[in-house]
Structure 1
Amino acid sequence: MTKINVETLTYTQLAKVFDHAILKPEQTTKDVEQGCKLAIKYDAKSVCVKPCDVKQAADILKGSSVLVGTVISFPHGNSPTTAKVAEALQAVEDGAIELDVVINIGHLKSGLYDECQKELEAIIKTCKAKRSDVIFKIIFENAYLSKDEIVQACKIAEAAGAEFVKTSTGFASSGATYDDIELMRASVSDHIQVKASGGIKSLDQVITFLQKGATRCGSSSTDKILEEFKQKNSA
């Protein structure tokens, strides 16, 4: 287990773990504005907004250190490949630099591994041809997968050229678990990063996910968790 705890982390190190999520279907353009300003205030790594909100987020975050992220084929991953590629390209054109792509969950569970990999390759290669520094995180939705399927998804995502594997959308019956982070960390090469997402609401959760091997956490409770960190460090 990595020696990470409240005492060894600086505020900036912890803040740059967070992708601040603004993904609920009912969230408005005002919510996007407030969420982006919150991410700037707390120095988060990125925001993760709905594809329709990428342009707005990019405008607000311009000149800040907070990256613009979005989701592709969210939350079920069941769009056809051509639609996923088009959505991803549009997101990059609108200003997104990090794309969290939902794997085709049903096809993964059908054992169509080659198809899943080729689809991700098509999305990644097409977008990187447009902008080489785009970062890809592949969302598995572990709540629906067996341990063997999670391992297989890790292999597919890495082979397709993604930089991250990610646990969940936050919209399934359960989100990130400590066991899943350990399994995913063990199932990819060292240069592939692991993102925990779904149900992350406390500092203790974040610290444990980091100890288990995660390097990024998606949460809509970014401010609450970072305020908790400040209070503990000032005690």
Structure 2
Amino acid sequence: MYNIKNSKELAKLINYTNLNNMATESEMKEFLEKAKELNFNSVVISPTYVTLAKEMLEDTDIKVGSVIGFPLGFEDAESKVAEAKVLLDKGVDEFEVVINLSYLKDEKYGLLENEIKQIKEAIGDKILKVIIETKALEDYQKANAAKVAENAGADYVKTATGFVSPNHIFENVNDITIIQKHAPKIKIEISGGIDNYKFANQILTAGSNIIGSDQGYEIVKAYKELRENTQVTPKPITLTKKD
């Protein structure tokens, strides 16, 4: 199993997510306070709340992530680039763009690569994640999507938007294996349906670099309760054999 030393380390392996399109400002503030409490690697939120997040997380090292072409990915490249530039101006640290599945299924890999390259050029040295929605793809399509993302200069492949049925652990392991084989230099973020520590640990053990979850707070709190807040009084032992 993945060797997680404490809850702080676990939180830094999770991108805490709230992409609820009906979240109110008060709900988002509550979400961001939870993120501050446990100091996640990043928060992933809609463009609507980026400014609020930058203000509330100003004194932390939590990165602010947001989305482009979300959740369907069928906007043209110019529109996605424009979205990226607006988010950049707002101070976003990590950008997540949904791949154009129509291009992928039609094997228009040049168009896909060009789109990702344009977005990467627009955001410079900021992190770019390409969401490929593995639940909707055949294995060969996942392989080609990962190769395109790597060739175009993306930093991560992310497996899901969270708006489709989550993968089973074995499907996630299969996705990780495919991505590692066909795009060995790119990092991997598994997302969707990760709602407990056991599942999170399995995903990390399988090779994911990081996890995306809207249950990040619950995962870390449960782990913290188990590992750090459970008081056990050890029984005295002797190192010599009794007669």
Q: Would you call these one fold, judging by a TM-score over 0.5?
A: yes
Given that 1:167 and 1:175 are in contact with CA atoms closer than 8 Å, whether structure 2 keeps it comes out as no
Aligned equivalents of 1:29 and 1:182: distance in 2?
39
Aligned ranges 1:47-62 → 2 under 5 Å: 47-62=43-58
TM-score using structure 1 length:
0.92
Residue in 2 aligned with 1:4?
A: 2
What are structure 2's unaligned runs of at least 5 residues?
A: 231-243
| 2:197 alignment counterpart | 203
Partner of 1:162: 154
Q: Distance in 2 between matches of 1:203 and 1:174?
A: 16
> If the length of structure 2 is used for normalisation, what is the TM-score?
0.89
Structure 2 residue aligned with 1:39? 35
Question: 5 Å matches for 1:101-116?
Answer: 101-116=97-112
What is the match of residue 189 of structure 1? 184
1:87 counterpart residue number: 83
Alignment check: 8 A CA contact 1:18 1:216 kept: yes
1:9 positional shift = 2.8
Equivalent position SS for 2:89: helix
Distance across 2 between alignment mates of 1:56 and 1:48: 13
Q: How many residues align?
A: 226
**1:199 aligns to what SS in structure 2?**
coil
Q: Is the 8 A contact 1:168 1:175 kept in 2?
A: no
Cα distance in 2, alignment partners of residues 186 and 230 from structure 1: 34
The answer to whether structure 1 residue 212 and structure 2 residue 230 are counterparts is: no
How far has the Cα of 1:231 moved from its partner? 2.3
Aligned mates of 2:149, 2:27 — CA distance in 1:
32
Instruction: Write the distance in 2 (CA, Å) between the matches of 1:74 and 1:97.
Output: 17
Question: Is 2:137 the partner of 1:139?
Answer: no
1:150-186 residue CA offsets vs partner (Å, 9 max, x unmatched): 0101101111111111100000133472321232233
Q: Secondary structure at the match of 2:87?
A: helix
Query: What residue identity is the alignment partner of 1:152?
Result: N
**Contact 2:6/2:224, CA 8 A, preserved across alignment:** no
Q: Which amino acid aligns with 1:181?
A: I
Q: Distance in 1 between matches of 2:180 and 2:197?
A: 21
Structure 1 gaps, min length 5: none
What's the secondary structure of 1:153's corresponding residue? helix
Secondary structure of residue in 2 paired with 1:9: coil
Conserved 8 A contact 2:6-2:227: no
Is 1:232 the equivalent of 2:230? no
In 1: Cα distance, 2:159 partner to 2:74 partner: 17
Amino acid at match of 2:70: F
After superposition, the CA RMSD in angstroms is 1.4
Q: Give the AA of the match of 1:141.
A: E
The AA in structure 2 aligned to 1:156 is V
| 2:237 equivalent in structure 1 | none
Percent identity of the aligned residues? 30
Looking at CA atoms only, which structure, 1 or 2, has the larger radius of gyration? 2
Q: Which amino acid aligns with 1:161?
A: G
- TM-superposed deviation, 1:10: 2.5
